[in-house]
Every structure is written in C-alpha cells, then in structure tokens.
Structure 1
Amino acid sequence: MPSKPSARLAALTVAAVCSAASTVVLTTPAHAESVRVHDIQGDTRLSPFAGKQVTDVTGIVTGIRTYGSSRGFWIQDPAPDADPATSEGVFVFTSSTPQGVAVGDEVSVSGTVSEYVPGGTSSGNQSVTQITRPTVTVVSRGNPVPAPAVLDARTVPAAYAPQGDPAANGSVNALPLRPSTYALDLYESLEGMNVRVADARVVGATDPYTELWVTVKPHENRNRRGGTVYGSYDAQNTGRIQIQSLGKAADFPDATVGDVLAGATTGPLDYNQYGGYTLVASELGTLRPGGTERETTRAQHRSELAIATYNVENLDPSDDTFAAHAEAIVHSLSSPDIVSLEEIQDNNGATDDGTVAADMTLGKLIDAIEAAGGPRYDWRAVDPADKRDGGEPGGNIRQAFLFNPARVSFTDRPGGDATTATDVVKVRGKAALTLSPGRVAPDSAAFEDSRKPLAGEFVFRGRTVIVIANHFSSKGGDQGLTAQYQPPVRGSETQRHLQAQEVHDFTAKILKAQKNAAVVALGDINDFEFSRTTRIMEGGGVLWSAVKSLSASERYSYVYQGNSQALDQILISPSIRRHCSFSYDSVHINAEFHDQISDHDPQVLRFRP
C-alpha cells in the first residue's frame, strides 16, 4: 500500500439516493464500523455488512462511471487477504457524477453498505454490493492501480453455477463462493475488482447500447464463423463476458462476431440487469476484424420448393430498411417460392389509433423486392384484432405469406378473420383447410396477447403443401443465466408449451385426414431445437425440426448474450422428412453483425414434394 501523507490532501462529501425498489437492506443500520473491502464483500454473494454503516474503508480508485443511472466509482484494496472468495473491490454509489476523485487516488470512504439488485428484486438477478450515501476523503493521488485479475481459459472454471439451495427457493446467494469450481462464483469473487481479458474473440456483436460480448475460452463450443453455440441447458458457455466502456460511446468499436479485441481489455468487473457480469473497460483492446461475411444460400432447383421464414423486426411503412430486406430476400435467400414473414406491423406502425391493416407495409416490401431484381410476390395474411396479439403497442404485428405466383399458387378459401378459426376437412381423400388463409385456434388461451398461427394452402407442381406460420410468445420475463436462482426459472415457457400443443394438434388433424400430407410449420418459435417447446410440436412424430439436419455448430439464428442459438425453426411432416429430398440452411445475414437490419437470421427449406 502506498505511504500516506501526514495531512489529508482533499475531502469530498457526496449524498447518494438509493431506490428502495431495487436495494435490499438485510439488517437495520447499526453503528459505523471500520472494515476492509474484503470484509464488506464476504465469501458469499451478500455482504455481512448489508444495511450497516462503515467508516474509513480504504482503497485505490480503479474506475469512474459518469453516465447512466448508476454513477459512482470503484475502489480496490491493494493489500488483499488470503481468501480467493472475498473480493477486494467495491462500487461506491454517488448518484450524481462523482466530483474530486480520479483513477489512482487513494480514498477513505464512509457510508452505508447495501445490496443493489439491477432490475429489481422481482427480476431474480443477483445483487451488487456497494457503499451508498458516501463521505469520501482523498488521502493521496497518483497511486498505481492494483494489477488486474486475469480471466482466460485457464482461470475460468468449466462448470457454470452451483445448484441453488432448495431451502431458499433455489437461490445461491447464501452459498459460500467456490471460485475455482464455478464460473459464476469466480466472477462474483471478483465483483468490483480490476480484471483483464486479452485477445478476446467477439461472440456477440456491438449493440445500440455500446455493448459487446467476448469469450475468454476460444475453443468453447466454437462454430466456424467465430461464435459460441448454445447447445443445451447444461452448456452455458462459461467463457462469455460482456464488455462496456468507461470512455466515450463514439469511441466504442463496431464489432461483428468473429472479430477480436486484440491486446488487453481492462477495467472493473460490474454486474448489470441486461448482461450479468460485465467488464467496464478503462482500457479497451484494438478491434481486429475477423472477416465474417454475410451468407448467401443457393437457388432452388426447378423441381424444388423453397420455403423461408424471416423475422423482419417490427417492419412498418416508416422504416428505412425495406431496400435492405429486399436485397436479403432476393440475393441472400435467392428469392424463395414462399416466405413466412414475422413482425409485419400495421400501416402506421406504433401509432395506436385502431389501424390493423398491413397492405401498405406488405406492398412496400413487395415493390422493393421487385426493384431489387426479385419476382413480383403476392401476399396473404389475416389482420389481427387491435391490440390483441402482443408486440410493440399499436403495431399489431402479425405473420404474413409472400409467394411467387410464377412458381406457386395459393388456394383461397375465404372467411378467415381475426377470431374465426380455420379447420381441417377431408376432400376427395386429401386434407384441406376450411379457411385459407386462416388462423389456427385464435380463441385459445394459448394465444392470449400473442400472435396467432397463420395457415395457408399452396400448390407446387400439382402437390398441395400446407404451411403454418408461427410467432410464439417471447422469452421476456425469464430469469437470466446469471440469476441468483440456479437453474434460472423460465416462466415464459408455460405459454409456448400451450402454443406448441395447439400447432401439434392442428398438424395431427391434417395428418389424420391425409397421412402423407406435406405440412411445414415454421417461424419464430422463440425457443431452442432442444427445448420442450420443440419436443411438444414434434410429439409422436407429427413434426420434426429440420434445423437438426445441420451439424450442431450450425444450429443458430439468433445471438443473445454471446450465445448463438436457434429460435427460428422450420418443422416438417413425415412425408417431407422421409420421402422427399430436402435441404436446410440457416442463412447468417443479421444476428452476428453490428449493422443488422433484423436480430434474426432467416431459415430456408428446399424439398421436392
């Protein structure tokens, strides 16, 4: 520890305001105690001093945050104890922009210890130990910042998190930290401390909030494009970590999956609502491009029917992405015969005035596709009831079919509307829809405040193909992978399981009417190919997720928190799987890129009916 001058150089007193909704006070504030940082942090996730006043907590300032709702600075004790479970760093919450302190200052802090839960206690997130309502005294300036702890393939354990305590509803908060055994325990044992990653590969592109994700384990479930694939609930990819910066947002790199942050990236280890453990960099590595390029799928042969699913992310006439989406459909997807679109908004987007029609949205996209050199698509859809299908308020998102009438014909059977369900009948030995286009089970509780499936009959070279377009309920509200509850609760699954059952049962009804019917159920399933949602749809061999025809490292359409994962799927009936020559392609044009026009990659199925 640097020597202290005989007289203190400066003093700063800051009053900080804490939010009662997101701060957990575990004990009644007691008398002030003089303690070290590692005493405050303790060897569990909760401070033994939470709710108590502490005095003269010393440390070196390692980083200052002057933006956002959590302003303050980190201090670290340069004289650590011998316990690897106790962090030597802590965040000092000042509420407003800190004044009078600089990186390298040795400070003495008095205040109240609290456990702040980003996102509030209902989120299930872990808490951040911090000192609030601080009185800060600068003792000396220009001290060396404590050397960073290194995060790499050697130091980060292979196991992700301990099993939560059943007596505490699955919480890990009170469990002693085992940083050599579990990755989350290691990160917690370094909370608030200066850490470093080096030559880290980007596995989650820069987002609009100037964040990106890297991995410190270059071989952990790596795919050929540089991402880290999420292949099961037991493979959480322990090497992922989010990167933010204490510098100017304009200086943050525009990174794509497969790029590398070359050199050292160093700064305090924080925990936030949207990514869990986050390295907030005071020193940011130099971006080295990895050469990841957008893919193009091959064109279908004359005898192949090409069907795609593409989530165009809240597309409405005011958007400036129509030309880019058209280029993607024409050139990256090679103009599929049928395109199931998800997140088509009504004609005035988020304006909430009762408008539900989307003919302008679809017409503008069709015009753009033709201008890009594609076919003149036709379209079919069913307008939803106002504010009944979830999504952005006022947007009235829905699924819609585009189809190339030069290659495919649509069988129109009128009468479908927002609330009238299509059904299955047998006509001359073949399955037929009573309404085409029509909605599947729109009055079912499974689709309350969610998108209803859209079914339609198509004919290609004399063979009928029934297509069911889906957009299942989102994962919003699920606990994060870094939650205090392990394993995290995935509460949103309940509705998706009900939705999957409805689609399964509707498909089963088609196959009961015609055993060899060609059925394609596709869309933004919002769940993984290994999930129970998918297994319910597949139940009894009624459907099969064709993304599983790809190698495990290629099964992804979305990148979330550095995990490349499959949310968009195309499921096929037995006659297609067993008797048709089919090929499947997840066309990576969006999810891996910082300049994406949608957060989803389209999927393409080609087969010979």
Structure 2
Amino acid sequence: MPSKRTARIGALTVAALCSTVSTVALTSPAAADTIRIHDIQGTTRTSPLVGRQVTGVEGIVTGVRTYGSSRGFWMQDTRADDSPATSEGIFVFTSSTPKVSVGDAVTVSGTVGEFVPGGTSSGNQSVTQLSRPTVTVVSSGNDVPAATVIDAASVPKAYTPAGDTAANGSVNGLTLDPAAYALDYYESLEGMNVQVSDARVVTASNSFTELWVTVKPRENASKRGGTVYGSYTSQNTGRLKIQSLGSAADFPTADVGDVLKGATAGPLDYNQFGGYTLVADKLGTLEQGGLERETTRKQARGELAVATYNVENLDPSDTTFAAHAAAIVNHLRSPDIVALEEIQDNNGATNDGTVAADQTVGKLIDAIAAAGGPTYDWRSIDPVDLADGGQPGGNIRQVFLFNPERVSFTDRAGGDATTAAGVTKAYGKARLTVSPGRVDPANAAWTDSRKPLVGEFSFRGESVFVIANHFASKGGDQALHSQFQPPARSSEAQRHLQATAVNTFVKEILAKQRNANVIALGDINDFEFSDTAKLLEDGGVLWSAVKSLPKSERYSYVYQGNAQVLDQILVSPSIRRSCAFTYDSVHINAEFHDQISDHDPSVLRFRP
C-alpha cells in the first residue's frame, strides 16, 4: 500500500513510497469513456477499484502540497454524478514535488489505493488516493470548482453509524449516508474543495499550523467560546480541523473564541491527528475574541484551598518557571496546598539514573516567592528510576507544595518508592502509617505509571488526607473519528485498576474515621462521566467536585475541538455534605496558543 503523509510538518513522518511522475502538455481532451473520480471513490469509505490501474482520470487541480513526506495534489471532477455519497475529489500522491499548479486541467493514470494515516493498527479511516501517477496537463488557468459550503445546516446532528459487527465494528464497508451522519458527510467530501465561513476557533493554534473551528457555534458551547465534550455519545459534529496549505508564516495565531471571518477554503483531507481536515489555501481573517486568563478568588481565613496543576514535564532547564509561578500566585491566588503533576528529576530527560527532583522543586518555590507568593514547603517521594512512565529519563512524579504559614504537614518516617502507606487509628482518628507515602505501589495497576502520593495535613487543628494522582494516559485509544465505531478505549483498563486501588485506600481511611476529610486529586486522564470516575466514587466514598459546575464550565483540557475534563478533585462525604465548598477550574492554559501547560489547574476551597 502506498504511503501518503503525516499531518504535522516536521513531526511524525511516514515513509513515502517512491513513485515515477511524468508531466506532458496536450492540446486535446481525454477520452470520454475514462473512469471518473466518483467511480474511484464509490459509495463507501474504501474504493471499489482499490489495487487497480486506472487511466485518463480527469480533474482540475485544487491544491498542491509541496512539503513533507506526502507530496502531491488534489484534483476534482467538474462533471459530478447524482449520488451525494460519492466524492468528486481525490488526492494524487506524487512523492516528489508535483509539477502542476492550481487551475490545471489534468488527466492522471495510476494505482488506486487506500492509505491509513498512522498505520492499520491505529484504527483510523483510510484515504482513497492515486499513486505511481503519470500526470498529463491538458490546460492551465481554469477556474477551480466552487467550494462546497460546510455549515451548521449541512452537517448532520448524529456523528456516526454503528460499525458492522461482522467487520469487527468497522464502518468502512457501510454505504455512506451523508444526510444522516457527520462522519459520512465529511467522507462524501473527501478530497473536494470545501469552505467554512465566519468559523469560531474551538482549539487554539499550535506550532504545526493547525487549529480547530466549529461550524455549529451553539453546539454544547462553553461560556468562553469552546465546545464542551459531555458524553461518549455527544462527539460534537461541528468540529473541523484547519491546517495551512501555504506558508506557516501566514497561519493565524488564534485562541479559543476567536473567529476566522470570511471564507476559509481548500481541499478536505483526513489525517491521524484529528481526522477530517480542511487544508486551507485561503484563510479567513482572524477576528480576536479577547479571551482573558481567569483568576480565581482568594480563600477566606477559615477556608483551606487545595489545588491540582499539571506543569507538563517541568525540569530545571525549562524557561517557564516564572510563568508557572505567576499562574500560581496571581491566577490561583496562592492555594494552601498545591498538588503538582509532571515534576521531572534534576536533569530532566537525561537518562543517567538521576531521580532526585529537589532542584526542580526548589527553582519553582523560589520563583513563586519572587512573584510575591508565599515561601512554600514541599513533600514528595523519589520514584525508582524509569519505573513510573512518562518521558524516558524524566522520572516524573507528584509533589505537594504547602504554605507553612497556613497549613502544616504531618511527617511520619518510612515512606519511600516501594513502601505502601497504611492507615491506623489513634484517639478515634485515622492516621497514616507513613507520611508522605505511596498508595499500594506494588499493585500491578501502577506498572510503568505514576504511583499516588498521599500526605496527612493539618489545618486549624483538623486533619486532611490528600492523595495526589497521575493516572495512565489515553495513549493507544482509537480516535473519535476511527473506522471502528464505537472506538475502543484500551487505555482505560489500567485506569480502572488504578481507580479501584485509590478507592480501596480511601475506604480504609473512612473505615477508621467515617467523617475524615479526604481529597483525591490530580490528572486523572479521564472524564467526569467515565467508568474511571465511577470506580473512584464507588460506594459514595468520593465525589468529583467538577460536577458542581454547570456543564458548560466542566473542562480542564482542550483536545481536537473538544473542551473536556481530565483533571479532577474528588472529595469525601464530610466535605461534600458541608455545603461550604467551592470548586473552580481556572482556565489559564488549555484555550490559549501561548500556553505554558496543556492543562488548566483546578482549586477546591472548603472549611474542614
């Protein structure tokens, strides 16, 4: 199968199959009985002519890609058939820089293929293409076929049909129904010239010259301009990725809530980093929405403020310490306890056996003090080298920062990377056997993953147990746009085991003291409606406080146009029943192109 391309310039590349390309100028039209593009595309996701040699396929060049390992061009037939399921456009994979221009009328002979971005193991849909082409230019300067308008009226409400059970859940063999399903609609336009107008940005631009817009501005809208992902069956059909076909310098620097005014047009592609993608040779004018970073309120004198913040592989060589410090001091208002995720060891990704992170943490503490915040103290446990996953050599771990002027840490010796924290009872109160400690670190649930850090704190004479988590990532899950529907979420099996282990530990605390103040927080890497969250909450011992927010405000991460919850703070019944807690997901990163982390922090305030 000929290889095609990658979606990210300079990122993951796919080895391209060599092809021989010739370009010859003619003055006479191609024969009338040649196979047309819609014959190649067919009415399903895979071509009925796959593997066959075709000759004299006609089209007008609508876009030329001259970069990366997938060089080629799109062409579109001006003689459409009557079927809404068949696309009139196709990508021609040339391998080398194409010798055609937009507006050229061409005929192409080549091999019909189906390329799967990311490889067949990814579960992604395939792209119908022509490879090993012989390209003949018939004429130049022709009008490009008018772009098909993609808008709220044209994109169906339903996202996808269920896959064929006889084909392991694949939708590839199903006849497209573009009037009923969004993925079928987009597939029916694969390779064609398309257009969106006045489209609102729902994922900020990044270094790969891509962003996401929505053509359905009212679809599960957040108050800040995004699109909220609230269930596995509400995938948000109006999302569409925009990528530049031209110079990276021309691509807009956009935040969520900005608008691409006017028309954004180009061929509709499909790639592994988001599925259907409008590869724009014409970009709308950016109209800024003026989105500002949020600032939470300061905790009251009798309130304990506990936060979680994924600082994205922070190590001493990073240049973001001052920015993280400003975020903690100015936007989080210096919480009493901050659980940090992704603190790396003292030399970051250098893989030399170093596991200590005192320099990383010390540099952040100094930066916070310099920003006008408190001089935090800290507790953590160094992991066993290379045992906790993450960037090889980085040895990421969770760390507690705490303000000693407001809260004290109860130290109990003996905690290390392999010793499990236990729970005892003294004077009618639960207490940890080691503090700081780790939750069940020998459990297979934590293989190649971060072990939970648990600590016992005291605030105004009341004990508070805090468990800092960083569950296994979603790596390996099939995408929402997968050919398999519903897509498989293989990574959640480990998170389910992890959630069960944490839930069991919380039950041990509450068995010793029913009204204990327990908080489990961190980068859970799963949604508030997920089975992972349900397992954490099992038996009513925990409850995810993000559910206290309106649905339009429940998110800490933005991925492929969906604002979603990955970071959570879960509380025990004594905290939830007090009715005196407040929860805030503080949006300072995920919606912005100049983010210092891909996660937003969250803060819980309550009166123990």
TM range, smaller chain: over 0.9
Task: Show the counterpart of 2:152.
Answer: 153
How much has 1:579 moved relative to structure 2? 2.2
The amino acid that maps onto 2:44 is T
1:82 aligns with 2:53: no
Task: Show the counterpart of 2:406.
Answer: 407
The amino acid that maps onto 1:153 is A
The alignment yields a C-alpha RMSD, in angstroms, of 1.3
Matches within 5 A, 1:577-596: 577-579=576-578, 581-596=580-595
- Aligned residues, how many? 584
Change (3 A) 1:315 1:17: closer
Tell me which moved more, 61-70 or 170-179.
Answer: 61-70
The amino acid that maps onto 2:596 is I
1:418 aligns with 2:417: yes
Instruction: State the TM-score, normalized to the length of structure 2.
Output: 0.95
Cα separation, 2, equivalents of 1:494 and 1:17: 32
**Segments ≥4 residues shifted beyond 6 Å:** 16-19, 21-24
Change (3 A) 1:23 1:253: closer
The amino acid that maps onto 1:114 is G
Matches within 5 A, 1:155-170: 155-170=154-169
Matches within 5 A, 1:110-509: 110-509=109-508
Determine if contact 1:422/1:440 at 8 Å carries over to the other structure: yes
Task: Show the counterpart of 1:57.
Answer: 57
Cα separation, 2, equivalents of 1:563 and 1:418: 36
Matches within 5 A, 1:85-96: 85-96=85-96
The 3-state SS of whatever aligns with 1:241 is: strand
The amino acid that maps onto 1:51 is G
The 3-state SS of whatever aligns with 2:398 is: strand
How much has 1:34 moved relative to structure 2? 3.5
Task: Show the counterpart of 2:25.
Answer: none
The amino acid that maps onto 2:218 is H
Cα separation, 1, equivalents of 2:224 and 2:274: 22
Tell me which moved more, 579-588 or 361-370.
Answer: 579-588
Change (3 A) 1:566 1:132: same
Cα separation, 2, equivalents of 1:18 and 1:475: 26
How much has 1:71 moved relative to structure 2? 1.0
How much has 1:69 moved relative to structure 2? 1.8
How much has 1:580 moved relative to structure 2? 5.0
The amino acid that maps onto 2:61 is V
Cα separation, 2, equivalents of 1:482 and 1:164: 12
Task: Show the counterpart of 2:9.
Answer: none
Cα separation, 1, equivalents of 2:541 and 2:569: 13
How much has 1:250 moved relative to structure 2? 1.4
Q: Deviations over 1:1-51 (max 9, x none)?
A: xxxxxxxxxxxxxxx8779x9999xxxxxxxx9410000000000000111
Cα separation, 2, equivalents of 1:192 and 1:498: 43
How much has 1:70 moved relative to structure 2? 1.3
Task: Show the counterpart of 1:66.
Answer: 66
Task: Show the counterpart of 2:22.
Answer: none
Cα separation, 2, equivalents of 1:330 and 1:17: 49
Cα separation, 2, equivalents of 1:473 and 1:36: 48
How much has 1:533 moved relative to structure 2? 0.2
Task: Show the counterpart of 2:605.
Answer: 606
How much has 1:415 moved relative to structure 2? 1.0
1:98 aligns with 2:94: no
Cα separation, 2, equivalents of 1:400 and 1:551: 30
Determine if contact 2:3/2:15 at 8 Å carries over to the other structure: no
How much has 1:498 moved relative to structure 2? 0.3
Cα separation, 1, equivalents of 2:70 and 2:475: 23
The amino acid that maps onto 1:61 is V
Cα separation, 1, equivalents of 2:87 and 2:440: 54
Cα separation, 2, equivalents of 1:580 and 1:432: 25
Cα separation, 1, equivalents of 2:247 and 2:282: 12
Determine if contact 1:22/1:116 at 8 Å carries over to the other structure: no
How much has 1:205 moved relative to structure 2? 0.3
Determine if contact 2:16/2:95 at 8 Å carries over to the other structure: no
Task: Show the counterpart of 1:4.
Answer: none
Structure 2: 5+ residue runs without aligned partners? 6-13, 18-32
Cα separation, 2, equivalents of 1:534 and 1:57: 53
Determine if contact 1:23/1:117 at 8 Å carries over to the other structure: no
Cα separation, 2, equivalents of 1:177 and 1:198: 25
1:44 aligns with 2:44: yes
Cα separation, 2, equivalents of 1:441 and 1:69: 46
The amino acid that maps onto 2:337 is I
Cα separation, 2, equivalents of 1:166 and 1:542: 38
Determine if contact 1:22/1:120 at 8 Å carries over to the other structure: no
The 3-state SS of whatever aligns with 1:464 is: strand
Determine if contact 1:580/1:608 at 8 Å carries over to the other structure: no
